[in-house]
Structure 1
Amino acid sequence: MELMLHVLAVEPTAQVLAKEPIIPFAILLVVILVVPIIFERLRLPGLVGLVLSGILLGRHGWNVFPTETPTMSLLSDIGLVYLMFVAGLEIDLEEFRRKKIPAFGFGSLTFSLPLVVGVFLSRSFGYEWNAAIFIGSIVASHTLLAYPLINRLGVTSNAAVRTTIGATVITNLGALLVLALCLVANSDNLSFWQVLPFFNSLIVYTIVVLIGCNWIGKEFFRRAGDDEGNQFLFVLLSVFLVALVAQFLEIEKIVAAFLAGLAVNEAVGEGPVKEKVVFVGSILFIPIFFVHLGLRIDLPTFFSSLITLQFTILLVVSLFASKFIAAFAAKLLYHYNLQETLTMWSLSLPQVGVTLAAALVGYENGLLSPILLNSVVVLMLVSSIVGSFMTSRFAVGLTASVIKELPFTNQTHIDAGKTDSSPSTIVVPVYNPQTQQYLIEMAALLARQAKNARIIPLAIATAVAHMDAPQLETSIERGERLLLKATALSRVLGVEAQPLLRIDDAFAQGISRAAREQKADLILMGWGKRTGLRARLFGNVIDSVLWSSHCPVAVTRLLESPRKIQRILVPVENFMAPALQPIQFAQILAEANQAQVTVLSVCERRTSSSKIASRRSQLSQIVSNVSSAHPPEIQIIAHENVAQAILQAARLYDLVVLPFVRNRTSPGGLAISDVTTYLARQLTCSIVMLGEPQRTEKSVTVPVGVPSPIPVT
């Protein structure tokens, strides 16, 4: 009786949800917002939580969510195409070129070995050749799910890591090309070998898209100038046009989407347009695809079949074994050490983006049965969780080898030991009279440490169509008043000030252009607390300045006069040179203010005393290269929560200096939260966030999850 009442209670709910599309959409937004946060706090990939949410909400779980509705299907299809486009867009082609020989070698090994093993396993379970080749291909690719982790550890410059990053091009492209062949063979009832002539037209299509779209994209971006809106629309349009042509050639749309991402990769580059493209997909469409995939999973049927369980277990074991053999072969060929080999192995294990997209397409075209789709999802869950965990263990050992390769002198444009005759120039955009004084004081302290230093207070008047417009006159008058106040304050502080009023199309472009024209060594800005959706979607002044600036950008939140700062804390997450720039910045400020700098490193509570001693020795070596007469103190804390450890330590300090760190998203577009996000919101003392220009290191930019974009104040 209770079971019947339960069924009667659930059925009307599902019917209501099917009739009211706004309700499923609201549920989706809640799932997308809450579930990834929970799983990331459990140190699990957020996309795993999305798939599991789909399983629980679907007809084989709580049955509170309709599986097939027009709205859900449309959003899921867009998410699928977007997923593959972002996978191609985020592949680092520059890394592939730098390490093209080992990347091609390892990519071929880590693709062909799982392919052969997967085909052999599938044939042994009685699958026909076409299905067996397809199953082998979808496990041959890999997703750099742990990239944010190795980025945070500072080992992205390691040769083995770069090789693995470059190999992603080979594995993903190879898997998608095999998928296209298998789909044609399945639709025309041909064997895999009978469709090899189709391979020629597929290769021609690939070459035309990669070369043609690349050229068109570069030309469009060159002519579009700074119009980010049109650039954004061009990027999206290229996806659908390439997919449309693919439909006429009977090529699967996810193959076209991936090729489109590769084609416009260089044209888009690392900038605000790419950030917007990835952001739009990562917050909505791609998560919906993962939830919709979970709705299709039939776990009861999966666990009821012993043969399917055996095949799934053997498929997982085959993946781990073949990927290890490929990494070990690369070790022998390119002379990597054991730690690097294990890191390559763990990085190439996760099967997420291309694997799930190909599996879903194969399922929809009859290549995969529902039970085999379940097997692929299990493979994804196991490989992504275990692969990320293994990377967190193996990649730590690469840090020491990277440190030896990095120079730590003359790494920044503002050098405490600067002795040449060229002026040290600090551009200070002024906008908010309430924060202007502290900004000028900070600039003055920094400028005093260089010879012939000068401060350039900068006011931007936004241009309009007519130069005699009243609003432009008002903006100019306001800027002149701010510059007069800044000049008077600089005179009191004993530093030369050269005020500059500029009329420009927008604040960000005006600041970046003026800094370049004045040959600035540093841009010193303030921030506010506005963090709405529109700011995140369309960017803001600080975000745009950091992307386009030629010099470092220091974004400050000063709660008291910089002249009162006596204790400065610099948390260090990794030993990469760009992440260490805050140490040198803090030391310059400390020397000007007779303050003391403390460099803080947080390690896991389980870290052995020998490793802590080694880390202290490494930090001492680094500090000795960036400090002068008064070296910073070194503090190492063993704690299970990095952010909490920094917050506890920061209670005793007047200022915390942090690097801008933008987490590179996975090809799924799902960002993993950064420690900086939490710190910027919780710290109660003054903060300086220092970001190097984009050209120096891709990993040093504004974090996606940080409370930026932040408006200039």
Structure 2
Amino acid sequence: MDKFLQHISHAFSTPLTNPVLVFTIILTIILVSPIILRPIKVPGIIGFILFGVLFGPHGLNWLAKIDKATLQGSGVDAIDLFSTIGLLYIMFIAGLELDMNEFKKTKNKSLLFGFLTFIIPISIGFPVCYYFLNYELLPSVLIASMFATHTLVSYPIVNSYGISKNEAVAITIGGTILTDTAVLIILAILTGAAQGEINQQFWVTLGVSFALFLFIMFGVIPRIAKWFFQKIESEKTAHYIFVLAVVFFAAFLAEIAGLEPIIGAFVAGLALNKLIPHSSALMNRIEFIGNAIFIPFFLISVGMIVDVSVLTKGPMALIIAGTLTLVAVTGKFLAATATKLVFKYSKNQRNLIFGLSNAHAAATLAIIMVGYDKEIIDENVLNGTIVLILITCIIASIVTENASRRIVMEGHQDDEHVEHVPEHEEQILIPIANLASMEPILDFATLIKSKKSHHPLNILSVVADNEQAELNLANARKNLDNMARYASGSETEVELLTTIDFNIASGIGRTSKELFADCLILGWPSATSFIEKIVGEKTESILNRTDANLFMCRLDKSFVSHKSIVIFVPPLAESEVGFEYWLEKILKLGQELSLPLRFVCDSRTQGALQELPLMSKTSVPHGFENYEDWDNIYGLAAFNTVDALLVFVSSRYGEVSYRDSLDGLAKRIGRYFKNQNLLLIFPSRRENQHIDDYEDVQTAPIFRKISREIGNMFNKEK
């Protein structure tokens, strides 16, 4: 017994030395971190770093670098190996996902913006580091060059607002390629200088080796890759292994050439950029494996190095952190302002450029880690950089969202942003949850379904994948048969679908994508358990996993009890992708039920509604009532009548018309309007194309609530 206890005590003594246990803890962090931090919307890139700080040597001391030489005679550090792969992976994806076509369109303007966003932060940063913070020449140049980098953290926001084709966005993307490349070249020179004197031989060697490296990467590798992808077309696994081999070969080649491995990984991404489509299965594999394992490992290892206690030891650490952040933000703002003046952009376009280029994340972290490993910079700068990353990511997301919203309000959305669903191709999916409420939902679906569509209504039952799956599947099919019999009464054609999945929301999301569903019709959300509140409620999960229009129904009363339909439309709803689709369905519902429509909206949305050909052609009686205070949802009760069917238009989090007052709308209106039929509509959105899942920033509620005030610092209403 004593031996057993001693064995257990040794296994769990800190820092943990068992590689299997360490790996288990790190995987648990990767799994749990997004779940715990999702409710407060902490950016993923910061979340993993924070957990690294918590469990690292300067925190609970559970994790430390394991020199396996003491265990198995090998000199390889397990955490180091995975974090190095993660660092290279970040730079590879950064090069792979840059839009080279957009860069070509605006290359001249991109060149100028790239120069400005590179030179201005460096021009400010170097004297501040050298004279104010009293760093030596090499550290000052490295820190100043770090200010010049940026990561397109807030690009998903621009994409969701439908303004990704705006010229200001295009030149920012092009500038990213140029400034990051220039900084990586400076990094190569600095690391060479740190190892010895810079002389004529150094420059000749660097020039020749760099030219040879570029020739191999852009002249040889793309041709080999193209040949490989054509000849081994069916072997999808081989494609991924080949890409991985290219990344590490490029990193090794860069090291041989006297450059940093991260330069090699970045160039590998640029070299393979045209050969790997952004929406391909290969790209999905690259992002999935990187985002699931390698990149989180790197971010956690960064946290393990951070010593938060340094910030409390004296004012100098806080001064450095504050100064780095201030210089980073100021430099990027001045670069955006200079670009505005040169190209005569609007104030909103200037803020869009600033928002997109202000976030310091992947490239910044990569450069600062190289500098720390080479002992060019100290831990004060490392810790200050982590603070800088957190603050700039939050500012970037807030400013980008405000600027995007204002550009949309000016009417500058991409033409293809509005969705047009051909009526004969319409697919409607109805997931079964509560059989008792399914009949009125089926009636509702029959009323709004296009008569021109040759597709049946798809009724889905998702069965949990457990030991009773087969029994539950049989019961589900029996329930579906009951629905089919009911549908046959109105001569409605239905397709019965069953699927097994560990997660109901996942099953619905997967089936929706397989069907290319245009619309999902769900019952009203029921009370949630404590676990669901932490992990994410089913309805919220379904919203996150689907891009289609979603109608949520509470239809306890007969349709004949209604005398009107009141539709509450929030500001900017007309800019959503699915705007025309849900409007067409509501007009169809009014026509089927012979009920007048009353739209409650602000003056801008009313104008957009009245201009639509859809509204001018309809025979359904309709009117408008003005409401401007959309931060007060309960004020809408003034427009309610007891015999009205109430329709609330909402939005998925992060979309154009989303606002804080729409949080938890289903629960709030469900409690407030207890005895009325309710519809809650979430318009469709374009599929989010994130640069990197761990760079996707969604501001926390407290920051969203002050975002208007911060936005007003850069935008003042006339």
Partner of 1:163 in structure 2? Answer: 171
How far did 1:354 drift?
0.3
How far did 1:333 drift?
0.9
Partner of 1:62 in structure 2? Answer: 60
Q: Match for 1:110: what amino acid?
A: T
Higher mean displacement: 171-180 or 205-214: 205-214
Q: Distance in 2 between matches of 1:350 and 1:526?
A: 38
Q: Match for 1:658: what amino acid?
A: F
Partner of 1:104 in structure 2? Answer: 111
Whether the aligned pair in 1 keeps the contact of 2:398 and 2:699 (CA below 8 Å) is: no
1:318 aligns with 2:343: no
- Does the C-alpha gap of structure 1 residues 116 and 406 become closer, same or farther in structure 2, counting only changes over 3 Å? closer
How far did 1:57 drift?
2.6
Q: Distance in 2 between matches of 1:598 and 1:191?
A: 78
Q: Distance in 1 between matches of 2:285 and 2:598?
A: 37
Q: Distance in 1 between matches of 2:404 and 2:300?
A: 31
Which TM-score applies when normalising by structure 1?
0.67
Structure 1, gaps ≥5 residues long: 1-10, 416-423, 460-483, 500-510, 528-541, 547-551, 601-614, 676-713
Find the partner of 2:26 among 8, 25, 28: 28
Higher mean displacement: 633-642 or 158-167: 633-642
1:349 aligns with 2:358: yes
Q: Match for 2:694: what amino acid?
A: G
- Does the C-alpha gap of structure 1 residues 485 and 559 become closer, same or farther in structure 2, counting only changes over 3 Å? same
Partner of 1:52 in structure 2? Answer: 50
Matches for 1:36-435 after TM superposition, within 5 Å: 36-68=34-66, 70-124=77-131, 127-190=135-198, 194-195=202-203, 198-199=206-207, 201-203=209-211, 205-206=213-214, 208-210=216-218, 213-214=221-222, 229-266=237-274, 267-301=276-310, 303-304=312-313, 309-401=318-410, 403=411, 405=413, 411-414=419-422, 424-426=424-426
SS at match of 1:137: helix
Q: Distance in 2 between matches of 1:165 and 1:87?
A: 11
Q: Distance in 1 between matches of 2:249 and 2:197?
A: 29
CA deviation vs aligned residue, 1:271-325 (integer Å, no higher than 9, x gap) = 4443343233223322222221111123444554655554444333322222222
SS at match of 1:87: helix
Which TM-score applies when normalising by structure 2?
0.66
Higher mean displacement: 253-262 or 97-106: 97-106
How far did 1:393 drift?
4.5
- Does the C-alpha gap of structure 1 residues 522 and 288 become closer, same or farther in structure 2, counting only changes over 3 Å? closer
Q: Distance in 1 between matches of 2:321 and 2:512?
A: 54
Q: Distance in 1 between matches of 2:587 and 2:218?
A: 47
How far did 1:334 drift?
1.2
Q: Distance in 1 between matches of 2:105 and 2:282?
A: 25
Higher mean displacement: 309-318 or 336-345: 309-318
Q: Distance in 1 between matches of 2:336 and 2:201?
A: 30
Higher mean displacement: 142-151 or 320-329: 142-151
How far did 1:110 drift?
0.6
- Does the C-alpha gap of structure 1 residues 67 and 166 become closer, same or farther in structure 2, counting only changes over 3 Å? same
- Does the C-alpha gap of structure 1 residues 512 and 385 become closer, same or farther in structure 2, counting only changes over 3 Å? closer
Partner of 2:602 in structure 1? Answer: 616
Identity over aligned pairs, percent: 23
How far did 1:430 drift?
12
How far did 1:194 drift?
4.4
Structure 2, gaps ≥5 residues long: 1-8, 68-76, 460-480, 496-510, 524-541, 633-659, 701-718
Q: Distance in 2 between matches of 1:25 and 1:237?
A: 24
Q: Distance in 2 between matches of 1:446 and 1:218?
A: 49
Higher mean displacement: 348-357 or 210-219: 210-219
Whether the aligned pair in 1 keeps the contact of 2:44 and 2:693 (CA below 8 Å) is: no
Higher mean displacement: 172-181 or 67-76: 67-76
How far did 1:232 drift?
4.2
SS at match of 2:292: helix
Whether the aligned pair in 2 keeps the contact of 1:181 and 1:192 (CA below 8 Å) is: no
Matches for 1:609-648 after TM superposition, within 5 Å: 616-624=602-610, 625=612, 626-627=614-615, 628=618, 629=620, 637-638=630-631, 640=660, 642-648=662-668
CA deviation vs aligned residue, 1:539-561 (integer Å, no higher than 9, x gap) = xxx99x99xxxxx9778899999
Q: Match for 2:577: what amino acid?
A: P
- Does the C-alpha gap of structure 1 residues 18 and 96 become closer, same or farther in structure 2, counting only changes over 3 Å? same
Whether the aligned pair in 2 keeps the contact of 1:114 and 1:318 (CA below 8 Å) is: yes
Q: Distance in 2 between matches of 1:190 and 1:498?
A: 75
Q: Distance in 2 between matches of 1:51 and 1:180?
A: 26
SS at match of 2:682: strand
Q: Distance in 2 between matches of 1:621 and 1:214?
A: 52
Q: Match for 1:45: what amino acid?
A: P
Q: Distance in 2 between matches of 1:319 and 1:409?
A: 33
Q: Distance in 1 between matches of 2:31 and 2:623?
A: 41
How far did 1:330 drift?
0.4
SS at match of 2:168: helix
Q: Distance in 2 between matches of 1:211 and 1:580?
A: 47
Whether the aligned pair in 2 keeps the contact of 1:155 and 1:576 (CA below 8 Å) is: no
Q: Distance in 2 between matches of 1:398 and 1:192?
A: 51
Matches for 1:281-680 after TM superposition, within 5 Å: 281-301=290-310, 303-304=312-313, 309-401=318-410, 403=411, 405=413, 411-414=419-422, 424-426=424-426, 454-455=454-455, 575-576=574-575, 578-584=577-583, 586-587=585-586, 589-590=588-589, 593-594=592-593, 616-624=602-610, 625=612, 626-627=614-615, 628=618, 629=620, 637-638=630-631, 640=660, 642-649=662-669, 655-661=679-685, 662-667=687-692, 669-672=694-697
- Does the C-alpha gap of structure 1 residues 240 and 641 become closer, same or farther in structure 2, counting only changes over 3 Å? farther
How far did 1:360 drift?
0.8
